[in-house]
Amino acid sequence: MRLPAALIDDLVDAGSREHYADASLYDYEYRRRRADVTFYRELATERRADRVLELGAGSGRVTIPLARDGHHVVALDQSKAMLARLRGRVAALPKAAADRVRVVEGDLRSFEVAGKFPLVIAAFNVLEHLYTRGEVDACLRRVAAHLAPGGAFAFDVQMPDMAWLLRDPNKRWAKTRFTDPATGRAMFYSTNHDYDPVGQIALIRLYYEPVDGKGPTRVVKLSQRKFFPAELEALVAHAGLRVVERYGDFAHRPLDATAESQVLVCERAIPRRRKPVSRRGFGST
CATH topology for the 33-159+227-268 domain: Rossmann fold (3.40.50)
| pTM listed for this prediction | 0.92
Cα angle 39, 43, 49; round to 5 = 140
In angstroms, the CA 109 to CA 130 distance is 8
In the β-sheet with 51-55, what is the strand arrangement from edge to edge?
Answer: 101-105, 72-77, 51-55, 117-122, 147-158, 261-268, 241-247
Tens of each residue's pLDDT in the chain, 285 residues: 566 677 677 778 899 999 999 999 999 999 999 999 999 999 999 999 999 999 999 999 999 999 999 999 999 999 999 999 999 999 999 999 999 999 999 999 999 999 999 999 999 999 999 999 999 999 999 999 999 999 999 999 999 999 999 999 999 999 999 999 999 999 999 999 999 999 999 999 999 999 999 999 999 999 999 999 999 999 999 999 999 999 999 999 999 999 999 999 999 998 766 666 554 444 433
In angstroms, the CA 112 to CA 106 distance is 8
